[in-house]
Amino acid sequence: MFTLTAVVEGQRHTDTPSAFVFPGGESQVTVPAALQARAEAANEFRIHALLKSADDVMQLLLLTDALRRLNPAAPVHLDMPYVPYARQDRVCNPGEALGAAVFCKLINDQQYATVTVVEPHSDVTPALLQRVRVIDAAAFLKAALANPAFANGVTLMAPDAGARKRVQTLAKKLGVADVRYAEKVRDPQTGRITETRVPDDIPAQPVLVVDDICDGGRTFLELAAALRDKTDQPLYLYVTHGLFSKGLAELNARYAGIYTAYDWTASEGAGAPVVVNTIQGANATAPVNTIGAASAPAPTHTIETASARALATPAN
């Protein structure tokens, strides 16, 4: 899922490239004719890429090459909210690859002027990427907290140890006083999760579980069950990257509301998550971006922690 922007004399021109797959499985992409016509005069290009598959990764590389063939002098910026392989940030078993390092090297080799990512899974990803800008989830979570259900208070809940620092930081930034932390108990022999523990002192107010990614959703289903033993308050879920690979039915049965910045399902109607994001290209049906932006190159190997206000505003 891609959009392309050419900046010509301060004006942004945005369009969607076409892509197809040959019978043998190889991809090809085409920059739209309107952008081709403006390419020679472009001061810079920006690719917004929501990478959901290996084919998407290859198409990103092809688009990068296509833009540089149209105007080799124009810098290319990459907006890549979700970083594939970010969860493979360590080698778990002998003989395995370090997926995060392999993918980030592939991106670094493209020599983008900047790479903007949103709420990466861990600190490993921004450490591996060059010229990276990191956008945290504060603006998205703030939008979720605008729900009237939270008007009289809310408890933010970290689902596991990995989310603890993230939730602490967001709570401090947004002025949320009540934060609690769940704990996963693992079998020391197999590493499998055997229990989810939550504290006894859950305040008498709605609980909003906060994390970066929901893939299949097992973590959040088990957490909801554990919370039900401690509180009868309504449960809500916020995740920045809503992959929802096993659907939303079970999650909707346990949570009163689900919020995400990037809904991979592009769901609509009853049971769909609330998309708290107006960033261009966030979802297939996202509105034109209303979030203002900077496009100046960042120094090599620097990390900028920013809010959602730091992304570019395309204009046709």
Q: 244-301, pLDDT tens digit by residue?
A: 999 999 999 999 999 999 999 876 676 778 888 744 434 433 322 222 233 333 333 3
Q: Give how many domains the chain has, as a whole number.
A: 2
Is 315 a domain residue?
A: no
Residue 264 resides in a domain: yes
Distance of alpha carbon 24 from alpha carbon 129, whole angstroms: 32
271 and 178 both lie in a single domain: yes
Helix and strand counts by DSSP (H, E) for the chain:
8, 17
Q: Are 313 and 293 in contact (CB under 8 A)?
A: yes
Q: 243 with 217: CB under 8 angstroms?
A: no
- pLDDT of 58 reads 97
pTM summary value = 0.83
Query: Are 156 and 262 part of one and the same domain?
Result: yes
Q: 109 and 180: one domain?
A: no
The verdict on residue 166 lying in a domain is yes
Residues 249 and 211 placed together within one structural domain of the fold: yes
Identify whether 316 is part of a domain. Answer: no
User: What are the structure tokens assigned to 242, written together?
Assistant: 């809503």
- The CA-atom distances, in angstroms, between 13 and each of 69, 80, 254, 304 are 18, 19, 43, 26
Q: Which of 198, 133, 189, 123 is nearest to 162 (CA)?
A: 123
pLDDT of residue 308: 39
Q: Which distant-in-sequence residues (6+ apart) come within 8 Å of 233 by Cβ?
A: 155, 202, 204, 205, 206, 207
Kindly state the tokens that stand for 133.
């800008």
The string of pLDDT tens digits covering residues 71-117 is 999 999 999 999 999 998 888 889 999 999 999 999 999 999 999 99
Can you state the angle between helices 54-70 and 99-108, rounded to 10 degrees?
A: 10
Categorize the per-residue pLDDT at 191 as very low, low, confident or very high, splitting at 50, 70 and 90.
low
Mean pLDDT along residues 13-21: 95
Specify whether 62 is located in the same domain as 106: yes
Residue 291 has a pLDDT of 27
Query: Which residues constitute the domain of residue 106?
Result: 2-135+282-310
- The mean predicted confidence, pLDDT, of the chain is 86
Most confident of the following: 49-53, 265-269, 310-314: 49-53
